[in-house]
Copies of this chain bind each other. A is one copy, B any other.
Amino acid sequence: MDLQAILHDIDATLRPRLGQAGTVASYIPALARVSPHQFGIAVHTCDGREFAAGDAATPFSIQSVSKVFTLTMAMRHYGEALWERIGREPSGNPFNSLVQLEYEQGRPRNPFINAGAIAVADRLASRNPAPGGAKADILAFLVGEPVTYDEEVARSEAQTGFRNLAMANFMKSFGKLDHDVATVLDVYFHQCALALDCRQLARAAAFLAMDGAHPLGRSRAPVCTERQTRRINSLMLTCGTYDAAGDVAFLIGLPCKSGVGGGIIAVVPDTLALCVWSPALDATGNSLLGLQALELFVAKTGLSVF
């Protein structure tokens, strides 16, 4: 299977559609001014090969894709105890709903809705309570990549993230956050403001296709256990793409996690991880061409879990 040719084909097929449909996230200026005329795709295989096409070397705001990495960090440290604070079931409501949080007494349904990711950020702050500790830990987790926080994005999120502030305070009112809301959201807004490109993200996600092994070689310490990898992949499949998880499971059939910056990572267990990026979103908040790219990839490669 010539993966490089497939990625080029996908790029060639989708590039003419750039700018035709969908809308770039506009809730903060730094995201609103991103040009929708961009598309990138990258693959990192379990045997270490890398392929890319399009704008795969252009960094973008990974936003909710970061939830996969912080969840991995928290699972690694807390094990099963993590689930005392966070559920593992699909949510069935808009990703930022407070209603469900009220009926479940401040325990988020899963770690990929915003409330759940905020609860994960609180856990990371407990793991390293030094000022800035959790933020440093996240960069360390992604070491090997020249990753940085886009401070303008983080600042903008903090200034406009009233819904996230509401959710964090709401969980705090139920006694479900150990740290100050400001501390927890500082971690959360920064993780959303990480800037990576498709190649970096595919590489960073590769452990999910490798039963938790380190992407840079099995001589290094594994990222997490095989069992934890399976948990993360199943959460991505059932809850990784907001209120489109059912359709994505059908159309693509791979564990995926998307972000409003237009990035999506996907995992073919035991085979490869891939990352697609295109800033224009569909009505469900997922990258419009990103989903089309994944659908093409599955069709061309036959790599789907179903």
Contact = CB atoms under 8 A, between A and B. Distances in A.
A257 to B, nearest CB: 15
Query: How many copies of this chain sit in the oligomeric assembly?
Result: 4
Interface string A294-305: 000000000011
Interface in A100-138: 100, 102-103, 109-110
A234 B298 CA distance: 15
A99 interface: yes
A246 B239 contact: yes
Q: Say which size band chain A's interface belongs to.
A: 35 or more
B234 A90 contact: no
A10 B273 CA distance: 34
A261 interface: no
Interface of A is mostly: helix
A98 B106 CA distance: 12
A193 B237 CA distance: 32
A103 to B, nearest CB: 8
Interface string A203-242: 0000000000000000000000000001101110111000
A130 B223 CA distance: 54
